[in-house]
Structure 1
Amino acid sequence: MGEEFLFPLSFQQARLWFLHQLDPGNAAYHMPVTLRLDGELSMETLRAAFQHVVDQHEALRTRFEPDTQVQAVLESWAVTPELVDLSGLDPEARRRELDRVRLGVLREPFDLWSAPPLRVVVVRLEPRVHVLLIVIHHIVCDGWSLGVLAAELSAAYTALRGGRAPELPDLPVQYGDFALWQRERLSGEALREELDHWSRVLTGAPAALELATDRPRPDVPTFDGARVVRALPEPVALGLERLAHGCGASLFMAVLAAYAVVLCRLSGQDAVIVGTVTAGRSRPELEGLVGCFIDVVPLRVDVPAGLSWAGLLSRVRTVCLEAYAHQEVPFERLVEHLQPVRDLSRTPIFQVMLNGQDTPRQDLSWPGVEVTGEPPEPGVSKYDLTLDLHRNTSGMLLDLEYNRDVFEPATASGLLGQVAAVLDLMAAAAPDTPVEAALTGLRPATGHRDGFSGRRIEPPAPGSRPGEGSRVPPDDAVEARVLRCVRDVLGKEWLGVTDDFFDHGGSSMLAMKLALDIEQATGYRLVLRDLFDDTTARGLAVKVRAATATYELGGH
């Protein structure tokens, strides 16, 4: 593999690094691509084409250090697609085995510390029919990157089959350069001003979306997801675009307005925070790179009584434009700054997403091979609800991913139907039509609700000062070691063993760092639940003692 070159993690990577440390077997951040290949496939050409792409992008030959936030770019790394031959099986057995192989390829954990997290498997169904399975960990890739990879793989395969050397685009920078630039750019006064902006925007908004659920929310989410879809015809899409453009807004903003109206009405709340993905490629030299640039921004939509569609669209337009202007702040830094009420069962700040699927699409063409993309694997939902908007020549497609921990299929389908119904009414409405006219029959849903009702996001608490801690000293060496970790992570030497980690500046990201530090100091790895049950040094020390079952660390 040759020499290694070290770079800091980007802010996006740091969160995924911590999550992998705490739950290395979780496949929620695996990014799968499935392509059906019909024709005369050359495995050697495919291997060589992949190698050219890996050589092109440092992110695809990067491993990570387990003990420090550093990525190591390998000078070279050989990618070897695995061939699984199912052509000798009967059709039914072949189908079952393909499903088993596909699930295994998707869910097999990556060892981020020893090798780049890229897996390539080719399944042969018949001599001229193959399925290409590609899985990449999100820490080195995002949705935009998959398009870059697909285009360059196609170009390399085509050139090699024609006896030519592939000519891939020149890259002026690599992902490590971006990580260095981001760390320098988002620090000091510039970062503080951006965080202050988001504090002003989000303070006073509901701390959580209180949709009634079909079953109680589990203490720890499983990310078990499924999807429902709804198509809207071209006349509806054109009507929405006409209404939106007349208000200086976009189709995405119109869908956000309808989504917010439905969510507010069903939850009984006057505002909702909806997350949306940003590409994170604000500089042109980043557009051709494979890497994890994607981030999310919160869109706070207030829906007071008496608004017209024009009034609501004007509000939504302002919200979106301001969010786009301040999108460079890493979401995890925002969470650390706001310190929202901690709750392991849901994502902080927002629990629903809306994404406009405008990632550049790539038309794949390989010599002698017809390439067909297959739908993504279901089964993963990082949020309660994620609505994807697709605009196509026949109209619009609404694709709702929902969390099966809390919602039944019928509930998710009904909610999507309500969004579609409001969009249908919007498309035919005049700008001055009251929003209330579209809400006939929409009432707050019944079901399970939990203890977040009425809570609001509060301004960031002022930092603790020396002397504000309890100063209760440790009773034994176990408490001393845990307290040492707490003080180091928070940078506050005056804390005692009964001071709450989160009350003194702790966050979910810092809690994950604390878990790793405690493991190094005591040999015991805290699970996620431990970090939220009793977050004093004394409480965490109790868990360490219970796990070790001896007082070995305390010298007894």
Structure 2
Amino acid sequence: MDGANFEAMATKEVTQSDIRDWLIEKVAETLKCSPEDIGLEEPFTSLGLDSLSMLMLTGDLAAWLGRDLQATLLLKHPTIEEVAELMARSEPGDLELQMPSPSRERPLPATLAQERLLRHANLPPGLDANLVNPRFVIRGALDLNALRGALAEMVRRHEMLRTTFGVHAGSYVQIVHPTGSVVVEEVDWTTDVALQSEDQMLTRARQMVMKPMDVGVLPLFHTSIIKVAEQDYRVMLVFHHLLCDADALRVFFAELTRLYSALCKGYPPALEPLEWQLADFAVWERDWLRRDAAPYQERLAWWREYWHAPPPIPRFPFVLKEPLSAVASSASTRHAFVALDIARQSELLARQSKCTLYTLFFAAFSSYLLGHIPEREVAIGTYVSDRKRMAAGGLLGMFVSMVPVRVKSPPDSTFREFVQRVRLELDQVSLRRELPFEEVTEHLRGAGKEVPEVLVLFQHMHLPGDALSLEGTQTTRWLEHGQRLETSGLSFSTVSARDELAVWVSFDGSLYDAAEVEGFLNGFVAYLGALMSEPDQKLTREKPVEVSGWDSLFGPG
């Protein structure tokens, strides 16, 4: 799209795709490279833009959109995909929200995403095991005093780390405590001869720290520092899921790294003050999305039309012919690794298609699933985040919710073409994702309408290799082979890390045949490779050819 067309579009509504294309062209023009070399999920700084270039790009974007934008926009939302989504979903004025000033002396509402988790927690009273456990191997001169001080500053800085949850007047609420102690357990395993391997250490460490929490009692975040040898540590961070999602962890690690570095050098902690806390956002969100307000009504009307005739219930090929109804649900996982050359081809195809890896893999999974069920359309659940607003970008907390997406069999198209259709579908859904699926189904039932059945979930996760970097140490993630991805029912995930791409499936063993699920997963990995190698071949509904060597591909969860 040339500059004249872009200028002409500034006077009318632009879509997320329009903004994405504009940013790709502008960044490529600035860097004097091909648009195909621009990654949607690669930070602007990694692409090669400096602070002045980002400031100028923000000014150009503001002029093109005819909107006032904060100078720090590209710093707070550092990728093309994030900025495009943010601009498409927001109205002028939305990015400078009017912050409420609720008193912390009374219970405040939980966010809508937190409420979804609280519905499944044992409230009140009870213990909940929905925990997040990032863990690291740290080798070198770790300054324990600096680490303790940095963790204490994080608790002081983020109200979320000193917040508990409960039910008040029939609603789920959060209670912000004025102070909170940092809980750091230090353990010495240097003389424990029973621990001979990393697997043994990790098993014991998880048994030690992964204990259900009472969400109504502090702390809901704690740290264990395990010394296994001189200058050799294992650090276990444990959060209740209410306190963090994947983006919150990125915020946490980035700030902890800066605080630790300052304290190691004897400087006082010096992070920019937080303008908002999660409780402020929750109060704003509840007011903005109240049932009599336009945002709520507009989204509800769209979703009701979207689900006016839900897809039929999918008949998976791996359902047990006689489900083990007398047996409690049995969570099982399997995984397979994707060849590195296929992973590289995926990244290239995503750049060529001007889409994210998430969109690419979602399209691949959808196509594969539709080729293995008799139905021509299916509802697939996926997880989306609502932290794209400026106010939420630097906060800890849970912002992720599940939204279902309806996908139809591709009518005589290539995979490359199918990706574009899926991208548009995901864009449309993401623009209305603030309204919880539970609200939509409640209204559908109240109107006597069919409710969509979501029996399968798909998500893509990226595990950055350098999430935490403590000065003077070598810090790497501590991941066991076959890490479990907590879920229920049936969930497929593509997981990318440095020089690695894996596909995971988590399923209920009382409903689904494990051997058949493994075969299905095996076939998907082969199918993914074929799509990446030849994306311009026509898609068919025929079952892909099975691949030999199953035992070498799979590991137990």
Q: TM-score, length-normalised on structure 1?
A: 0.69
- Counterpart of 2:338 (choices 213, 218, 231) is 231
Judged with a 3 Å threshold, the aligned counterparts in structure 2 of structure 1 residues 51 and 329 are, in CA distance, closer, same or farther, namely same
Instruction: Give the AA of the match of 1:231.
Output: V
Counterpart CA distance in 1 for 2:214 and 2:414 is 53
Q: Residue type of the partner of 1:427? A: M
Change (3 A) 1:50 1:423: same
Residues 1:96 and 1:240: Cα distance change in structure 2 (over 3 Å): closer
Aligned-partner Cα distance in 1 for 2:485–2:501: 23
Assess if the C-alpha contact under 8 Å between 2:371 and 2:542 holds in 1.
no
Aligned pairs for 1:369-388 within 5 A: 369-375=473-479, 377-378=483-484, 380-388=486-494
Structure 2 letter corresponding to 1:159: A
* Aligned twin of 1:124: 227
Equivalent of residue 146 in structure 1, options 238, 244, 249:
249
> In the alignment, is the contact (CA less than 8 A) between 1:63 and 1:112 conserved in 2?
yes
Report the CA distance between 1:11 and its aligned residue.
1.2
Amino acid across the alignment from 1:365: S
Show the counterpart of 1:356. 460
Alpha-carbon separation, structure 1, partners of 2:297 and 2:105: 34
Q: Partners in 2 of 1:359 and 1:168 — Cα distance?
A: 25
Query: Cα deviations across residues 427-466 of structure 1 (Å, max 9, x unaligned)?
Result: 34364x3311864558xxxxxxxxxxxxxxxxxxxxxxxx
Counterparts of residues 130-529 of structure 1 (less than 5 Å): 130-187=233-290, 188=292, 189-206=294-311, 208-211=313-316, 212-214=318-320, 216=323, 218=325, 222=329, 224-234=331-341, 237-238=344-345, 241-242=348-349, 249-303=355-409, 306-339=412-445, 349-357=453-461, 362-375=466-479, 377-378=483-484, 380-390=486-496, 394=499, 396-407=501-512, 410-429=515-534, 431=536, 433-436=537-540, 439-441=543-545
Separation in structure 2 between the aligned mates of residue 389 and residue 88 of structure 1, nearest angstrom? 36
SS in 2 for 1:411: helix
- Structure 1, 62-71 or 398-407: larger mean CA deviation: 398-407
- Residue matched to 1:508: none
One-letter code of the match for 1:228?
H
Between structure 1 and structure 2, the one with the greater Rg is: 1
Distance 1:220 1:199, change over 3 A: farther
Deviation at 1:238, TM superposition (A): 2.9
| C-alpha separation in 1, matches of 2:202 and 2:539 | 49
Query: Secondary structure of 2:222's match?
Result: strand
1:13 to 89, 100, 114: 114
- The share of aligned pairs that are identical, in percent, is 24
Query: Do the aligned residues in 1 keep the contact of 2:410 with 2:418 (CA within 8 Å)?
Result: no
List per-residue Cα deviations over 1:315-353 (Å, max 9, x = no partner). Answer: 31221111121122123323333349xxxxxx9742322
Q: Secondary structure at the match of 1:253?
A: helix
Q: Which letter does structure 1 place at the counterpart of 2:335?
A: V
**Do the aligned partners of 1:145 and 1:289 also contact (CA within 8 Å) in 2?**
yes
Name which of structure 1's ranges 379-388 and 42-51 shifts more when overlaid on structure 2.
379-388
Question: How far, CA to CA, are the matches of 1:57 and 1:109 in structure 2?
Answer: 22
Q: How far apart are residue 252 of structure 1 and its match? A: 3.2
**Residue pair 2:313, 2:453 contacting (<8 A) in 1 also:** yes
Measured in 1, the distance between the counterparts of 2:352 and 2:202 equals 50
Match of 2:163 in 1: 62
Q: Would you say 1:115 and 2:218 are equivalent positions?
A: yes
**Secondary structure of residue in 1 paired with 2:424:** helix
- Contact 1:223–1:380 (Cα < 8 Å) also in 2: no
RMSD: 3.2
Q: How many residues align?
A: 429
2:6 is matched with: none
The residue aligned with 1:76 is 179
Matched, 1:38 2:139: yes
Change beyond 3 A, Cα 1:169–1:354 = farther
1:11-58 deviation per Cα after TM superposition (whole angstroms, max 9, x unaligned)? 11222223223594442x211111112223333322211111111111
**C-alpha distance in 2, partners of 1:396/1:269?**
29
Instruction: Measure the CA separation in 2 of the matches of 1:125 and 1:248.
Output: 46
Q: 1:348 to 1:227 in 2, by over 3 A?
A: farther
CA 1:428–1:82: 2 relative to 1, 3 Å = closer
User: What is the CA–CA distance in structure 2 between the aligned matches of 1:323 and 1:59, rounded to whole Å?
Assistant: 29
- Matches of 1:113 and 1:430, distance apart in 2: 51
Tell me the CA shift for residue 235 of structure 1.
5.5
Q: Distance in 1 between matches of 2:220 and 2:327?
A: 26
Equivalent AA in structure 1 for residue 233 of structure 2: H
Aligned position for 1:99 = 203
The 8 Å contact of residues 263 and 269 in structure 2, kept in 1 or not, is answered as yes
Match of 1:50 in 2: 151
What is the CA distance between 1:379 and its match in structure 2?
A: 6.4
Q: Which position in structure 1 is the counterpart of 2:76?
A: none
Q: Secondary structure at the match of 1:92?
A: coil
Alpha-carbon distance change, 374 to 348 in structure 1, aligned in 2, over 3 angstroms: farther
Change (3 A) 1:315 1:16: same
Q: Which moved more, 1:304-313 or 1:120-129?
A: 304-313
Instruction: List gaps (5 residues or longer) in structure 2.
Output: 1-103, 547-557
Instruction: List gaps (5 residues or longer) in structure 1.
Output: 341-346, 443-556
Secondary structure of the 2:430 match is helix
Contact conserved, 1:39 with 1:368, CA < 8 A, in 2? yes
Asked if the contact 1:271–1:300 (Cα under 8 Å) also holds between the matched residues in 2, the reply is: yes
Letter in 1 for 2:131: H
CA contact (8 A) 1:422 1:439 kept: no
CA pair 116-92 structure 1, distance change in 2 beyond 3 A: closer
In the TM superposition, residue 313 of structure 1 has moved relative to its aligned partner by: 3.0
Displacement of 1:301: 0.5
Q: Which amino acid aligns with 2:381?
A: G
Structure 1 residue 291 displacement after superposition: 0.8
Look up the equivalent residue of 1:267 and give its one-letter code: I
Q: Is the 8 A contact 1:230 1:417 kept in 2?
A: no
